[in-house]
Structure formats: C-alpha cells, structure tokens
Chain A
C-alpha cells in the first residue's frame, strides 16, 4: 500500500497554526513590536515565508543565534544518531524477522516474538534510563550524556564513545516494531506460488529464502524505512533529551517549552521537508523494486 502524501498540506496545517499560536500576552509590548509580533498573523506568516524563501530562518528569541545555523548543527547530530540506529535495527529486524518466519511456530519463533513484543512495549525513555543506569552509572563503561567530553580537545574516538549507548538503545528499541513487520512480510511471501515453484524446481532452501523470498519481502520494509524517517524526530526527542544530545528532537522540546517561535517554525519546516522527501523517495524506490507499480 502506498501512502500518497499531499505535499503542502502538512505544511499548511502546521504553519497555519504555529505563527498564530501561543503568543504570550504578558510579553512586553515593546519587544513584541520590535519582533513584529503585534502584526496580524497573516502578515507574520507572509514575512516568515518570504524570509524563508531567501534562506533566512530568523533568529532564536531565546538564544540569539541564527535558527538556520542552530538547526544545521543539531541536524547532523540527529542524523548521526538516527542513521546508525537505523542500521542496527534493520540488521536486527531482518535477521529476527526472517528466521522466525522461516521457522514459523518453532521455539525460536515463539521466543523471539515474545521478546520482540517486550521490546516493543518498552517505553523508550525508561529503557534509555535503565541502560544508562546499568552501563553508564554502575559499570561506568560509557558516559551518561553529551556528545563530547567537556574541556577535552575534539577526537573522533571520543565522539563515537559518547554515541554508543544512545545508538544501541534507539536501535534495539526499534527492532520491536520492525521485526514483526519483516516476519509478517516474509510469511506472506512464503505462501506465494512462486516460492512453491522455486522449491519444486529443486533449488536449495537457502537460495529460495535469500534470492526469491527475501527480495520480495523487502517491499514493506522499504515503506517502513520511509515512514521511519518521517518519525525520526519524534523518537529522537526522547532519546536526545535523556542522553542530553544536542539534536533536533531535544531542541524541539526545549524551544517549545520556552516558546521560541522562530526555532519551532524552523524545525517544523525541516521536519515537514524531511517527511515529504522521505515519502517521495519511498514511492520512487518502490516503483523500482516492483515494476508493477506505476504512478
């Protein structure tokens, strides 16, 4: 099933609301006027839109930094975290999903599906806290927060060392959902006639599974990756807050707590663009993988 996005619509839904919302009436009038907050909402929105088209996202009310540079820096952190986590969860999910689909109803299948259900039900932030308690606080193997050690010169090893725990937590917590998806996709494919044909041709079981079945089962997985990118920031909000990683998600939480509108607007824009792009790419990849799908 292809989710057709209506581009523009999410943009308008979110933007139409964001500028008009929650201007704190207690704000000092002078500051409001200087920031242009006293203008009607549509004037603010239009001004923001024109600025945006010129590549100017404005300045943060609170931190007095350019929103664009703030977001860019934090975006790289978020992507480092998310992409490595995605790699872990995909690897794990495909392995678990394929194995339990091939050996449906076996002990392995049952055990892995129950443990996956556990992972799936785990509140992400709690899981993160508990891993932190175990590996960072008790065992002291990894640092508890940040992306570099404060006061030390930058080094790659140091940064990787900081990322290990959050990436592991995020990656494993996503296995829950995705491995169930892989398993059901595999089960679906294994029931198809061409698998029967492949088997009756006398092909080795390995070839049947890896060549014929897995390839076709990857379609829903691609959809999942696409959807994953549209949800990246939501998931990131929690993990980044817990591990104090300066990323988009934690920036979002902070700026919405401080009502830093220009930052919120900027992030919303980034999120929307990423979402639409990822859905677009998903659709394109989909039609490559399955020539039957035409647009």
Chain B
C-alpha cells in the first residue's frame, strides 16, 4: 500500500485555506474554459477583417480592433489555446522525462545515476533560452507542437534532480524493503510505491513548468520566432509593439492575458507547495 506523507484530502484542505492559491485556480480554470470553448463563445470571427482598422475599445469591439480590422477580444480568447497547449503539453513532456530519469537515477544509483546526473548538470548549465532561440530559428516549419516539444525536452533537468533526491530517501524506507521482500520488480517498486509518494513535489514542479513554457512560448512569438499562422498572445504583442504610440490596447491586453495565466500557474504551484509542506512557505 502507498504511504502518503499527507492524504490528498488534507492537502486539498490546506490548499483551499490559501486564498492566493484559490484565486490562481479560478483564473486558470477561466482561461482553460476560454481555451476549450473558444470558437463557440467568441463574438466575432477572429480571422475576419470586418471592422475599421485600429478602433479603440468600444461597445461593439470590447477591446478594440487591430491593424487589419480584426476583433482583439475574439483573438485573445482564441490565443488561449496555443498558450495552454504549449504550457500544459510542454510541462507534461518535461515532467515525464524528468520523472523517469530522476527516478531511475535515484533508484538504481551507481553508474546509471552518474551518467544521468552528468547529463542533467550539462543541461542545467546551458543557457536554455539561448539554445531554444537557436533551434527554433533554424526550424523550417515552426509549428507550436514542435516548439512545445523542444521546450519540454530542454527544461526537465530541475525536476529530474528533485525526483532523484526524493527517491533516494524513499528507497531506504521500510515500505520499500517490504515491497522488495514480497518480490516486487524494480519497475513496480518505482512506479507503484516510490513515485506516488513523490507525487506532491512532482506536481509542484509541473505547475511551475507550465508557467515557464507559457512564458517562453510567448517570448518566442514576440521575437518573431513563433508559428506565424496561429493566433498567439505573443505574436499579438509583437504587432502591438509597432502601434505603441497610436493603439495602446494592442500591446496591453495580450500582455495582461499572458501575465494572468503565468501568475495563475505560479500561484497554484506556490499553494500546492505550502499545502504539501507547511515548513516551506514562500520558499522558491
């Protein structure tokens, strides 16, 4: 049986008591709904150039229109999809790599540990955003899925370290010995007994990763390194930059959306960590 440090219910209770974390959860849910229902709820076709150019926010176009006469609000709602896709997808990829490598390094130790941790060290040292710019700019086709994959492949090392140190201490506990005694295989011990106990800290890092991926994806699009065919908050901002003096709403609102999304994920991550380990309040 699993030996949870805290029961999920008690974690939820503490999470709920944290007002910031709840706010984060609410914001994230709203944005998630936006992403899921986007095409159904938007008032106008985000691609259609139906309106006057550069209209300031008014009753018809809540957040104004852009330089081609498209409704900014509709585009913002649809932009949520890319951010969420890259954020959640990228962090899922990074989490799977980090968890598996970290768990193997911590459980088997010896040369496996040595090799995996040296790779991790090297990855941690490389300025990842620089490498991302290099790789992405060399791509012939910059689809968001590829960017998501690259982000996921590059950011896992921190998690691998976290998981490794958790597993290192968990593998010495009695329940691991018990599992071994009844003849459980290594893989079974890792995935059924050890990792569920490390789930908390993994989850915290995963939420933070989502925030990182969303931030980096929007930065890439802002620098003109995103998928040019898709609507994303970063590329809307890039456009807004050109009209900073004449149309402030073009730069303001996409940024607010990125900010809120990243903030929400960070708040959830913070709340989760506090709920899991009250000793660590506010620790990075």
Contact = CB atoms under 8 A, between A and B. Distances in A.
A231 B126 CA distance: 9
A118 B20 CA distance: 11
Interface in A82-133: 100, 105, 109, 113-114, 117-118, 120-127, 129-130, 132-133
Q: Identify whether the interface residues of A are mostly helix, strand, loop, or mixed.
A: helix
Interface in A247-265: 252-253, 256-257, 259, 264
B282 A121 contact: no
Nearest to B265: A121
Interface stretch (B55-63, B91-99, B130-138): B130-138
B122 A10 contact: yes
B134 A123 contact: no
A253 B221 CA distance: 12
A233 interface: yes
B107 interface: no
Contacts of B121: 3-6
A237 B251 contact: no
Interface residues of A, number: 58
B129 A133 contact: no
Contacts of B118: 6
B258 interface: yes
A181 interface: yes
Q: Which of B129, B254, B282 has the most CB of A within 10 A?
A: B282
Interface string A158-181: 000000000000000000010011
Contacts of A127: 255
A245 interface: no
Interface in B234-284: 237, 240-241, 244-245, 248, 251-252, 254-255, 258-259, 262-263, 266-267, 270, 280-284
A235 to B, nearest CB: 8
Given A129-B240, A252-B133, A121 B138 contact: no
Given A180-B283, A187-B283, A233 B266 contact: no
Nearest to B133: A256
A125 B244 contact: no
Interface of A: 3-6, 9-10, 13-14, 18, 21-22, 100, 105, 109, 113-114, 117-118, 120-127, 129-130, 132-133, 137, 144, 177, 180-181, 183-184, 187, 230-231, 233-235, 237-238, 241-242, 252-253, 256-257, 259, 264, 268, 271, 275-276, 279
Given A109-B282, A230-B127, 4 more contacts: A117-B263, A123-B218, A181-B284, A275-B127
